[in-house]
């Protein structure tokens, strides 16, 4: 964490990400002009932070700057993977990631304190506080009495995974069936390209991390498309838990590819506005992803089984 001073400020990174989200939502293509005033107004901020965020994007090669023309997009804004990879991590990002990884491996207890985290990670108080604030905003952590924070329950054991699966079965098809569902066309196209490319890879070259990104983004797109804001919020909060380390267990490439094919079939029906069929296929997909799997079995051990939820 000592290199924090050289890293970009978190608020500039956040704004840079927002600029790219806006560019994607507006359908900006490579070479599209990015006027500072228009961006500032679309992002509801003043021009000064926009300038800093655009400079940051220019350093990463995401936007291009010319004295005469100003800023323009240097990448395809409909490819979120490319954008995510371009932005550097802030000190808080790295700390958040380390905290989540250590909690998943049970190196951190369920309760943590600011001073404990400062000692463990050699981080400044303000960095730790920002990381804790981020984790709290993302509903991964709760403020406990005194100076401590409490990790919320994650779907990282068979019982919690079963409950998570039930929750998604209730709400994800409902997100599609609630009147007013709207598919983000650009996001759907980017996801389709990503999923088709991944499904075409040979098993030995299959990228599980890319699968995880696509899987979360696919289900996130369905949540975001819901016209009912409470369904969308509840699902988005829950899907955030699936980004945590240690959630994707018990998977093999055959099932992951099958899961991608199921996603593509759902997408076909969403794009052709056959929402009822898409919701039915989504329900089947989620059920296939939560088959019973043995929790423990061995010679002479009783046949006792628990739920393990595969990606879906």
Partner 1 sequence: MHKANPTIVLFPEASFGAALNCVGIAQALRARGARPVFICHAGFSGVFADYGFQEYQLPTKDPLSASERQSYWQAFVRRHLPHFRLSPADQLETYVAPTWEAIVDTAVSAEAPLRQLLAQLKPDAVVLDNVIMFPAIAASGYPWVRVVSCAETELPDARVPPYLSGLAADDAGRAAFEAHYLAAVAPAHERFNRLRADAGLPPLPKGSFLEVSPDLNLLLTPSIVRRERAAPLDPARFIYLEGCVRSEGPFEVPVFPRNGGPLVYLSFGSLGAMDVGLIERMLTVFDRLPARFLVNVGGLRDAYRAVPDNVHLDAWFPQPSVVGKSDLFIHHGGNNSFCEALRFGVPSLIMPYCWDGHDNAQRAEETGVGRHLSRDGWTEEVLERTILGLLADDAMRARLAENAADMASRPGTEMAAEAILSLLRT
List interacting residues with partner 1 (CB under 8 A): 98, 101-102, 105-107, 109, 156-158, 203-206, 208-209, 245-246, 249-256, 258, 291-306, 308, 310
Classify residue 232 as left (phi > 0), alpha (psi -120 to 50) or beta.
alpha
**Minimum separation from the CB atom of position 207 to partner 1 (A):** 8
Contact, 161 vs 307, CB < 8 A?
Answer: yes
Looking at the Cβ atoms of 84 and 227, the one nearer to partner 1 is 84
| Residue ranges with strand state E in the chain | 63-66, 70-73, 111-113, 141-143, 148-151, 292-296, 304-307
Angle at 222 between CA 219 and CA 228, to 5 degrees: 130
CA dist 190 and 192 (Å) reads 5
Burial of 31 (0-12, 13-18, 19+ CB in 10 A): exposed
Q: Smallest gap, in angstroms, from Cβ of residue 209 to partner 1?
A: 7
Q: How far is the CB of 169 from partner 1 (least distance, A)?
A: 16
CB of 276 to partner 1, least distance (A): 26
Nearest residue (CB) to partner 1, 182 versus 209? 209
Q: Which is nearer to partner 1, 139 or 252 (CB)?
A: 252
Measure Cα distances from 295 to 79, 105, 160, 298, 305 in Å.
39, 19, 13, 10, 5
Q: Are 266 and 215 in contact (CB under 8 A)?
A: no
Q: Rounded to the nearest whole angstrom, what is the least distance from the CB of residue 106 to partner 1 in the complex?
A: 4
CB-based burial of residue 48 (10 Å sphere; 0-12 exposed, 13-18 middle, 19+ buried)?
exposed
Q: Could you give the CA distance from residue 168 to residue 62 in angstroms, rounded to a whole number?
A: 35
CB of 261 to partner 1, least distance (A): 12
CB of 100 to partner 1, least distance (A): 12
> In this complex, which beta carbon is closest to partner 1, that of residue 14 or of residue 166?
166
Q: How far is the CB of 92 from partner 1 (least distance, A)?
A: 18
| Nearest to partner 1 of 161, 178 (CB atom) | 161
If the CB atoms of residues 20 and 286 are measured against partner 1, the closer one turns out to be 286
Name 216's bridge partners.
none
Which CB sits closer to partner 1, 3 or 303?
303
Q: Please give the Cα distance from 80 to 62 (Å, whole number).
A: 12
Report the distance separating Cα 211 and Cα 225, nearest Å. Answer: 21
| Closer residue to partner 1, CB minimum distance, 179 or 300 | 300
């Amino acid at each position: 964490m000592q290199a924090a001073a050289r890293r970009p400020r978190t608020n500039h990174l956040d704004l840079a990400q927002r600029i790219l989200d806006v560019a994607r939502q507006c359908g900006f293509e490579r070479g599209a002009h990015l006027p500072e005033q228009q961006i500032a107004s679309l992002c509801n901020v003043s021009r000064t932070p926009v300038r800093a965020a655009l400079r940051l994007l220019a350093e990463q090669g995401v936007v291009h700057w010319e004295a005469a023309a100003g800023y323009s997009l240097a990448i395809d804004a409909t490819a979120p993977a490319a954008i995510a990879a371009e932005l550097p991590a802030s000190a808080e990002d790295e700390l958040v990631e380390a905290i989540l990884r250590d909690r998943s491996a049970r190196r951190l207890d369920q309760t943590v304190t600011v001073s404990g985290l400062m000692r463990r990670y050699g981080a400044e108080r303000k960095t730790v506080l920002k990381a804790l604030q981020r984790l709290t905003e993302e509903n991964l952590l709760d403020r406990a009495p005194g100076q401590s924070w409490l990790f919320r329950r994650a779907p990282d054991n068979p019982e919690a995974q079963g409950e998570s699966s039930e929750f998604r079965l209730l709400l994800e098809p409902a997100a599609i069936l609630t009147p007013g569902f709207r598919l983000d066309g650009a996001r759907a196209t980017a996801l389709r390209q990503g999923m088709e490319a991944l499904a075409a890879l040979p098993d030995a070259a299959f990228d599980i991390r890319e699968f995880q990104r696509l899987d979360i983004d696919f289900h996130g797109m369905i949540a975001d498309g819901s016209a009912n804001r409470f369904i969308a919020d509840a699902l988005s909060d829950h899907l955030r838990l699936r980004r945590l380390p240690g959630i994707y267990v018990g998977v093999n490439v055959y099932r992951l590819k099958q899961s991608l094919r199921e996603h593509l079939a759902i997408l076909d029906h969403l794009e052709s506005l056959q929402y009822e069929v898409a919701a039915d296929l989504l329900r089947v997909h989620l059920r296939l992803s939560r088959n019973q799997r043995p929790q423990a079995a061995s010679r002479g051990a009783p046949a006792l089984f628990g739920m393990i939820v595969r990606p879906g």
